[in-house]
Amino acid sequence: MNWNNPLAKRVLDLKPSPTLAVDAKAKALKAKGEDIVNLSAGEPDFDTPDHIKEAAISAIRDGFTKYTAVAGIVELREAIGKKLKRDYKIEYSIDEIVVSTGGKQGLFNCLQAIVDPGTEVIIPVPYWVSYPAMVELSGGKPVYLKTTQENGFAIDISKLESLITKKTRAIILNSPSNPTGAVYNEETLKGVAELAINKGFYIITDDIYDEIRFDGRSPENVLSFVPEAKEHVIIANGVSKTYSMTGWRIGYLAGPQPVIKAATKIQSQSTSNPNSIAQKAALAALTGPQDCVKEMVAAFKERRKFIVERLNAIDGIRCNMPEGAFYCFPNMSSFYGKSFNGKKIEGSLELADYLLEEAKIACVPGIAFGDDEFIRFSYATDIKVIEKGLDRLESALSRLE
């Protein structure tokens, strides 16, 4: 081998997760004693509910500390099946469900299972940061479908149709969306499903925020409106966001049996079963009381109103009202071209850097999600912290000239 070039091309081409990079920079500044207002968090600020923790402690005490079935314990897959039946009115048997080490691993395995080198996966923009990298790692090519703030980041079905080729393997939907908070409506989902059935491709629906929506409706995805698309739909979900369990690493896929079998095979040769103790905790989360979810959603709803109203009150910011998740995604492009101390702000990266350096606010530049006009602010933090951040933001923006 060429010893001067010791890494695989695959990894040289891979970009590190930009959201984790911002987080690392903010944490480093904080460690140095800086008073950073962190509005970049990608996880709920609540503690994991006690009854879930207790289930994990019992699992340890009971010696539930060995390998489990690669696809996860049967009780957990049954509980997931029940949730999917309750929310989406679709039956999934346990061999149509695989539990993974986080929703992220589920998505990764799913793409490895269905994407061949040279095939294409359509990704609506703005997108969750990991989709393009995951598609590329599978050898596939991301094909970007731009959406606009004016249309509430909805998918234009005729535009989608124009991107479909013989190489199209899948489209990835994420509703409620990280970063925009947008929820796809019935018409959009029906349009996508009709194309998937007629042209023959998969819909990967990343439902990780399905319970965190503010219109009082229960979770919805494409199967809520087009159940006959089941053979085309792969659901990716998990307990991280709904139950404030990001560190436990439990997610799952549900879909056509051949896809689930293939994803399980990949898992069997890479990580094997997800953590046995965390599986018991996830089981308690799905089958236990759900008040914790309602309380969290109510808190997010209050903060959402506060942050979006404050943002829109600032001259030059335009922010849609998010319908779910815990992010808002304001258009800040009117500040591009302005300067501070002779340094020009060219785009979202420079603006986020300016806000971190000068206002001590951590946020994520829109470019990380494929749209440079925006900045993502997370409101998964205390309302007092949000207020302090918005005060600083207002003052820092007014100093630009």
Ligand X SMILES: *Cc1c(COP(=O)(O)O)cnc(C)c1O
Residue 41 vs 115, nearer CB to ligand X: 41
Only one residue has tokens 């850097």, namely 353
Residue 104 vs 232, nearer CB to ligand X: 104
Closest CA to 197 of 175, 154, 228: 228
Is-contact 335 326, C-beta < 8 A?
no
Q: Is 102 an interacting residue with respect to ligand X (CB under 6 A)?
A: yes
The binder of ligand X chosen from 251, 255, 322, 330 (CB under 6 A): 251
Residue 73 vs 164, nearer CB to ligand X: 73
CA distance 204 to 213: 20
Residue 335 vs 369, nearer CB to ligand X: 369
CA distance 13 to 186: 37
The minimum distance between CB 180 and ligand X, in angstroms, equals 11
The minimum distance between CB 41 and ligand X, in angstroms, equals 11
CA distance 304 to 319: 11
Is-contact 316 397, C-beta < 8 A?
yes
Quick one: how many helices (H) and strands (E) in the chain?
14, 14
Window of 12-20, 102-110, 180-188, 261-269 that interacts with ligand X by CB under 6 A = 102-110
CA distance 67 to 90: 30
CA angle 245, 24, 392 (to 5 degrees): 95
Cα 92 to Cα 27, 80, 81, 111, 361: the distances in Å are 42, 9, 5, 20, 44
The minimum distance between CB 247 and ligand X, in angstroms, equals 9
Non-local (6+) Cβ contacts of 161 within 8 A are 195
Interaction mask 197-216, ligand X, x per CB under 6 A: ---------x-x--------
- Distance, CA of 77 to chain centre: 22
Q: Is 178 an interacting residue with respect to ligand X (CB under 6 A)?
A: yes
Q: Is 138 an interacting residue with respect to ligand X (CB under 6 A)?
A: no
Window 42-101: residues binding ligand X (CB under 6 A): 42
Window 105-134: residues binding ligand X (CB under 6 A): 128
Q: Is 22 an interacting residue with respect to ligand X (CB under 6 A)?
A: no
The minimum distance between CB 323 and ligand X, in angstroms, equals 15
Residues in the interface with ligand X (CB under 6 A) total 14
Closest CA to 324 of 192, 153, 202: 153
Window of 49-57, 114-122, 233-241, 328-336 that interacts with ligand X by CB under 6 A = 233-241
Residue 81 vs 238, nearer CB to ligand X: 238
Q: Is 322 an interacting residue with respect to ligand X (CB under 6 A)?
A: no
The minimum distance between CB 46 and ligand X, in angstroms, equals 15
- Dihedral over alpha carbons 175, 230, 189, 174 (to 10 degrees): 20
Which residues of the chain form contacts with ligand X (CB under 6 A)?
42, 102-104, 128, 174, 178, 206, 208, 238, 240-241, 246, 251
